Amino acid sequence: MAFRHLRSQPPAFQQQPGTGVSFPMARTVGALIMREVSSTYGKRVGGYLWVILEPIAGIVLLTLIFSVALRTPPIGTSFAVFYATGLMPFMFYGTLSAAVASSISFSKPLLSYPAITVTDAIISRALVNSITGLLVGYILFSILLGIEETRTNPQIGQIALAYGMAFVLALGVGSVNAFLFAALPEWQSLWIIVNRPLMIVSCVLFMYDDVPHPYDDYLWWNPLIHVVGQMRKGFYLTYPGDYISPVYVFSVGLVLWVIGTALLLRYHREILFEW
């Protein structure tokens, strides 16, 4: 009878009626996303509104400044669109990589709990900032394309590829920096100095095709050159972009992501309790 009683009970792992499927990692990442949104945007007046207005204001201001000297853009008829196709993927990469790099320090009080890992912290920040960046880009380009004749024909597939390249690159760079910022605090200040000329050497304000030889060979190794070029290729059908190599950008980003994740997992205890 005792044996029959045991057999009549459902196995411990069997899903009980009326209960949902448990996804611990998804729940953890979801909770971290809610915390990220509330702490980053919830306490600011206007919240998401300022996130959208900031790049739009920058585009308008710099367009007015540069239009005095550059009345005709290197490609197309609208300097605002030309500048936006360079600035938006550059800002997407910069904001996302910085968010991933600071994910450990941002969530450090929570990482002492066994249920929350460094991977959860990185994924949550990456998702929030990626969605925000995509939303800002969509709104900005919709405004620019709606108020003037730009003679562009946006190709969703090509634009999505540009954002994908920027995402993988930012995830890789941010993961490595998340470890380096914790292990070597001086690296954070040095990284800021190194990145100051990055906007110039990433061809945001000019075309890679106009860079004279042999400097073009040196600039080619900057992955952001390919990201910006791919974005412009998605807007300007006549732009060939023969130098663009998505394989190179994805390779750099994935290798850096593997290295950064391995270092964070190996030294996560030191990061939380010693450094």
Q: Report the percentage of the chain scoring pLDDT > 90.
A: 40
Residue 197: is its pLDDT beyond 80? yes
Q: How many CB atoms lie within 10 A of CB 160?
A: 13
CB 250 within 8 A of CB 165: yes
The domain ranges of the chain are 44-273
Q: What is the dihedral of CA 123, 129, 134, 135, to 10 degrees?
A: 130
Q: Distance between CA atoms of 221 and 235, rounded to whole angstroms?
A: 23
132 neighbors 214 (Cβ within 8 angstroms): no
Q: Please write the tens of the pLDDT for every residue from 43-87.
A: 555 666 777 777 677 777 776 676 666 667 888 888 888 888 999
Residue 114: what pLDDT? 60
User: Which residues have a Cβ under 8 Å from the Cβ of 246 and sit 6 or more positions away?
Assistant: 161, 165, 226, 230
- State residue 39's pLDDT score: 62
| Average pLDDT, rounded, for the chain | 81
Cα–Cα distance, 96 to 83 (Å, whole number): 20
pTM of this prediction?
0.82
- Reply yes or no on whether the pLDDT at 148 is more than 50: yes
Task: Evaluate if residue 13 carries a pLDDT over 60.
Answer: no
Which band of pLDDT confidence, cut at 50, 70 and 90, is reported for residue 123? confident
Read out DSSP for 106-155? HTHHHHTSTT--HHHHHHHHHHHHHHHHHHHHHHHHHHHHHHS-------
